[in-house]
Structure 1
Amino acid sequence: MASPPAAALTHFLLLALLFFPFAAAAAPHRHRIPSRHLASLNASAPPTTFFEVDRPIRPPLGSAGPCSTLLLSHSFGATYGRPPVTAAYAPPECLAAARAGGGSLALAVLEWTADCRGRQFDRIFGVWLSGAELLRSCTAEPRATGIVWSVSRDVTRYAALLADPGEVAVYLGNLVDQTYTGVYHVNLTLHLYFHPAPPPLTQQADLIVPISRSLPLNDGQWFAIQNSTDVQSKSLAIPSNTYRAVLEVFVSFHGSDEFWYTNPPNEYIEANNMSSLPGNGAFREVVVKVDEDVVGAVWPFTVIYTGGINPLLWRPITGIGSFNLPTYDIDITPFLGKLLDSKEHKFGFGVTNALDVWYVDANLHLWLDPKSKKTVASLVSYDAPPLVLDVKSGFSGLDGKFVTHASRHVSATGRVKSSHGEVTTTFNQRFSFANSNVFTTNGTVQVVNQTIDAKSGTFVKDASAVLLSEEVHKLFPLYIYTGTSDQVGDEYSLVSVIKLGVNDKMVSGGKLGFSYNSLRNSQSARGTMRVKKNLVVGGLGKTHQVYKYMGTDGCYFRDVSSSNYTITADKSGDSCAKRSPSSGVKVSLQCKVLQNVNLVCLVLCFSAQIMNHAVNP
């Protein structure tokens, strides 16, 4: 196919170049441009190790383990549109033995390891246990010499699921033919660590109810949301002795909305006769409802899969969140007054301005009162005004600017009376969104500047004390530049620059103790691709990432750079700066006193801790 005309080049490349074997394949029937290997490679050379930069998962001090169990081993070849691969799950004997001996689960880690050789798209996949999703991830893209990668996720919060027999299901829709030869060889392993004694407080849920599709299916167990009016839901009744409830939501975006943050409004598409390209603007949110009430929302982090924009940027350092897609928690405890009636209620998901396709499902984590057959709950207050969305646009032909702002607020307070006493829970979310989307040079250059600001808070108290006061603040900055140049006939160059990041802070206190953490995770990538007759014939991608984590549970730092498949610099550490001998003791004592006061004092304590802890680069 001839290279696209300049009039539609930028968005054509986001839908064609970015959907060739370089964009997560939610819909393999979409047209994608094949690529050539950039150089002759020695097939006997060792495989390349791909990785997502993340903090290592370490077992708690004093714990024993690991006790490791292989859950599933499979080669995913021609698996698209076929049933998920399943395996019976039996709780590892060491889990029962630990409990029989008076111990408890300290840490559970789900590890995905895989290798692939040849040529292949990147593929989205999911792992479910008894219908509850445990991992959402994207495969790495192989090369002739082969690749290997692994993903580890802390699944301790699913302790209730791990303790019961069930079924593991993995869906990885892959296609194999004469062109795309890569088969993904996968092992899925569970690693368990144990405390020698029961934990002082039970923090994991007593029951996890999947809000997903049930097998048999020829797809994943997620719901597929195809447009802005499509609402997917599941009805269920929850136990009458529930005293706390939290929804954990999984989200990923594909097809026409894989790059939703780059989409112009429909008016731009219509004015330029580009009906085959995506529109509906650059704002998306997942709206979560219980019956007809909006209980919360997800404004998702802009995950770029392992083939996005310029695939050479993500080899071997993959995009933030691409191997371990983030999940989003919504505390629905305030709504238990409506749910504890022994009737089924509808849990539904929709996506504002959605195009085909979004994969969404959830796990409902429930805490049950063993001393009561029925808890009593009531909704005290509820405020969920409509989304505020404003789009200002101005364009002439293919050049123009689109500025989008959005905001939303959700807040609810409820009371629950159980054997723990009468507890009042308030949960709130506050979001703001800003996106600037600019087309220049007759539509061949596009620049996107975007910021998602998400704040949430949970405040739990009884008649005498604050049980929990937690605030979380997440900031997702994104910058993308894409442009074409040097076009001669059917050959041209694509230049791309990407900056994305996660700034995440959490402070928590109350009877359960004081904790805080702060994460600054940023990537900066730039590269070029030379395209001839819709084949990538050359290119370069460079990526630099800095990951800094600091918290009451430790510190971690990594600064790593790559050029195409080669790591050019890499340094890391897990130590915190030394405390002042006197101030360290003083702050520790202050924190113990302040834990039972209020969030203002906790913030003061948090600030003091920061002064005594610093990431050591």
Structure 2
Amino acid sequence: MGSPPLSLLFSLLLLLLLSVLTLPTSNAALHRAKLLTSEFSAVRRPSSPTTYFEVTRPIPLPKTKPCSTLVLRHDFGNTYSKPPVTALYEPPSHCPLHRPPSAVVLEWSAACRGRQFDRIFGVWLGGVELLRSCTAEPRATGIVWTVKKDVTRYSSLFAQPHTLAVYLGNLVDQTYTGVYHVNVSLHFFFDSSTPRRPPAAIPVPDFASPADLILPISRSLPLDGGLWFPVQNSSDFQKKELTVPANTYRAVLEVYVSFHQSDEFWYGNPPNDYILANNLTNLPGNGPFREVTLRLDGKVMGAVWPFTVIYTGGVNPLLWRPITGIGSFDLPSYDIEITPFLGKVLDGKPHEFGFGVTDALDTWYIDANLHLWLDSKSSCTAGNLIKYEAPEFTSSLISKFKGLDGRFKTTASRQISMTGWVKSSYGKITTHFFQRFDYENQMQFAGNGSIQVVKQTIDSNHGTYTKHPSSILYSEQVHQNFPLYMYTETTDQVNDTYSLVSNVTLGFNEKKFSGERFGFSFSSLRNLQNCQGNMGVKGNLVTGGSGSTQQEYRYESTGGCYFRNVSSSNYTILYDEIEESCAEASPLGAGLFFRW
């Protein structure tokens, strides 16, 4: 299935804003319309392309010169619902890939000129997804942007030939004129000065190293569209069978998730009772809660409560120029430690890995990478799941409305816990993994449905604890908090013309503790955007308006600190403060330790 355009603008209208339809007299703020921006006179046109960027910290790299190779160059024009663009990747002969690199960086560089929706795209190597991203929306004078991603964890892939596949579903005609000109490169870093770790008295595995083997849980080439699986409703369960090598001693499932069409703004979907009572059955519903579940042979082994990525055409496209939404250029992936389940899959037989989405509407794109660590001194390992708890999530809905105005409060929580052992040449290793989630969404409609306010918080806490008979091998605990506030108001509706006011606050906060036999580390991230905008719309074209964004990014760790405070308005950067040392250190590890 091809990738649709992403900019289902959260303009909160009652019916589709298409020029062939007439708006009803109601001001219901309930629907997302596809909008294109025009170069209206209020915005000064620059003489050179605008550089778009997502705020993130620089990738920590060795001070050595990288060994680089261009793996793909392509112009993405009419590529919607067509096969991905492919190229044969071979380990570059000028890079010493006979030994593991210290770091590997994937670089996506793109340029576009004209008019175009935002488009979802993915990059796969040997069926393993390396990057999920959204394009920037261009302007008549042109735009450029670059995404750099640390892909060191996929190092085992780069030593062998594979097919590189990129899917970016784009349309070009008299209206949508933007062609995306793309270069994809890999940069390999080799640091000979890195000190070698002392040998252990008893051989133990290195849980912090990249996996020895990565198996894709994605659709196989040849095909039309992306390699991700489309999940189109709540009963749609996508799956793939894999055979796990018999000498595996650790397994981590990495999951990629993105949401589109009727569920692009799932966190703003009202409950079905509200839709039915107001005869709005043609609009998205199912309420604002979504959970992605991951299953092994039908049994839940983990869940994802996803971060609310807003793509570059979302809510108000003018908000994301040139600072894009958190996660829009590099969508987060989610790790689930499934080592406790290994005893179930070491029999040499195919097993079913699959995923579904609670209350999903069309469409979610999901695939996964299975990272496996292999015992080089043994042809087989053995294991057993000794404790497992995964009760269904609990949820509640408090609803009070009259007509198109009302209030709704949706809450949910979930806990998953598992413990198992694996016996290999390293001895008997016991692993415990847990997940805890809490969710709250408060939604309000006012002004006969012309105003919608959403206030949502997702809290996610997960951890891994691995014990060897002689010592604790590895531990990690991560706490994530995703706050979202969104206010939208539709006014001045006359036929196919209206005005939209929007305010958005979006945050991605994370605290992480990890430790293994060679040391431990803490890190803390606070990433917060505040956005304000207004625009006039006629038909599906933005005719005027403004957008501004302020963002503060603060990352602290045992290895250093990075701070950036940046603001933009109507394509112009107002200020940009960057510091690579923080004046005051915070107790990063506070509250992160856990007991088994």
The answer to whether the superposition gives a TM-score over 0.5 is: yes
Deviations 1:103-156 (A, max 9, x none): 541110000000000000000000000000000000000000000000011000
Aligned AA for 2:30?
Answer: H
1:156 aligns with 2:170: no
1:81 aligns with 2:47: no
Post-superposition Cα deviations, 1:470-516, rounded to whole Å, max 9, x if no partner, equal 11000000000000123455433110000010110001123142011
Residues 436, 600 of structure 1: CA spacing in aligned structure 2 closer, same or farther, 3 A cutoff? closer
CA 1:428–1:44 in structure 2 vs 1: closer, same or farther (change >3 Å)?
Answer: closer
Aligned 8 A contact 2:214 2:369 in 1: yes
Q: Distance in 2 between matches of 1:601 and 1:91?
A: 44
Query: What residue in structure 1 maps to residue 369 of structure 2?
Result: 363
1:143 aligns to 2:158 (yes or no): no
Aligned counterpart for 2:438 among listed residues 432, 442, 458:
432
Distance 1:394 1:474 in 2: 31
Q: State the AA in 2 paired with 1:4.
A: L
In 1, Cα distance between equivalents of 2:44 and 2:509: 41
Distance 1:44 1:603, change over 3 A: closer
Which stretch has the larger CA shift, 550-559 or 314-323? 550-559
Q: What does 1:287-298 correspond to in 2, within 5 Å?
A: 287-298=293-304
Q: How does 1:408-447 map to 2 (within 5 A)?
A: 408-447=414-453
What 5-or-longer segments of structure 1 have no aligned partner?
22-34, 592-598, 605-617
Once the two structures are TM-superposed, the CA of residue 159 in structure 1 deviates from its matched residue by 0.5
CA distance in 1, matches of 2:25, 2:567: 34
Q: Are 1:126 and 2:126 matched, yes or no?
A: no
CA–CA distance in structure 1, aligned partners of residues 281 and 584 of structure 2? 60
State the match for 1:532 in structure 2: 538
- Native 8 Å contact 1:3 1:534 kept in 2: no
Name the structure 1 match of 2:110: 114
Q: What secondary structure, in the 3-state scheme, does the structure 2 residue paired with 1:335 have? A: helix
Q: How does 1:336-355 map to 2 (within 5 A)?
A: 336-355=342-361
Cα deviation, residue 270, structure 1: 1.3
1:210 aligns with 2:216: yes
| TM-score under structure 1 length normalisation | 0.88
CA distance in 2, matches of 1:489, 1:232: 42
Which structure has greater helix proportion?
Answer: 1
Q: Distance in 1 between matches of 2:357 and 2:507?
A: 23
- Aligned equivalent of 2:52, options 47, 50, 53: 50
1:262 and 1:282 in contact (8 A); partners too: yes
How far apart, CA to CA, are the structure 1 residues paired with 2:35 and 2:92?
Answer: 42
Counterparts of 1:392 and 1:43, CA distance in 2: 49
Which position in structure 2 is the counterpart of 1:574? 580
Instruction: Give yes or no for contact 2:35–2:541 (8 Å, CA) kept in 1.
Output: no
Is 1:11 paired with 2:30?
A: yes
Question: Over residues 359-410 of structure 1, what are the superposed CA-to-partner deviations in whole Å (9 max), with x where a residue is unaligned?
Answer: 0000000000000011111111000001112112111110111110001111
Which residue matches 1:170?
A: 166
Matching residue of 2:178: 182
CA contact (8 A) 2:35 2:542 kept: no
Distance 2:584 2:354 in 1: 49
C-alpha displacement at 1:603, in angstroms? 5.0
Identity of aligned residues (%): 60
Contact kept? 2:42, 2:544, Cα under 8 Å: no
Q: Deviation of residue 463 (structure 1)?
A: 1.3
The whole-number CA distance in structure 2 between the counterparts of 1:461 and 1:531 is 60
- Residues 578 and 308 of structure 1: is their aligned pair in 2 closer, same or farther, counting only changes over 3 Å? closer
For residue 266 of structure 1, report the CA deviation from its aligned partner.
1.2
Confirm whether residue 93 of structure 1 aligns to residue 93 of structure 2: yes
Cα distance change, pair 10–327 in 1 and its aligned pair in 2 (3 A): same
Partner of 2:187: 191
User: Partner of 2:29: helix, strand, or coil?
Assistant: helix
TM-score (structure 2 length as normaliser) = 0.91
> What residue number does 2:7 align with?
none
C-alpha offsets along residues 586-617 of structure 1, whole Å, 9 cap, x if unaligned? x9xxx9xxxxxxx999859xxxxxxxxxxxxx
Structure number with higher relative contact order (C-alpha < 8 Å, ≥ 6 residues apart): 2
Structure 2 alignment gaps of length 5 or more: 1-18, 198-205
What is the CA distance between 1:82 and its match in structure 2? 0.6
The one of 471, 481, 504 aligned to 2:477: 471
Q: What RMSD, in angstroms, separates the aligned Cα atoms of the two structures?
A: 2.1
CA separation of 1:90 and 1:197: change in aligned 2, threshold 3 A: farther
- 3-state SS of the aligned residue for 2:349? coil
Q: Distance in 2 between matches of 1:235 and 1:11?
A: 40
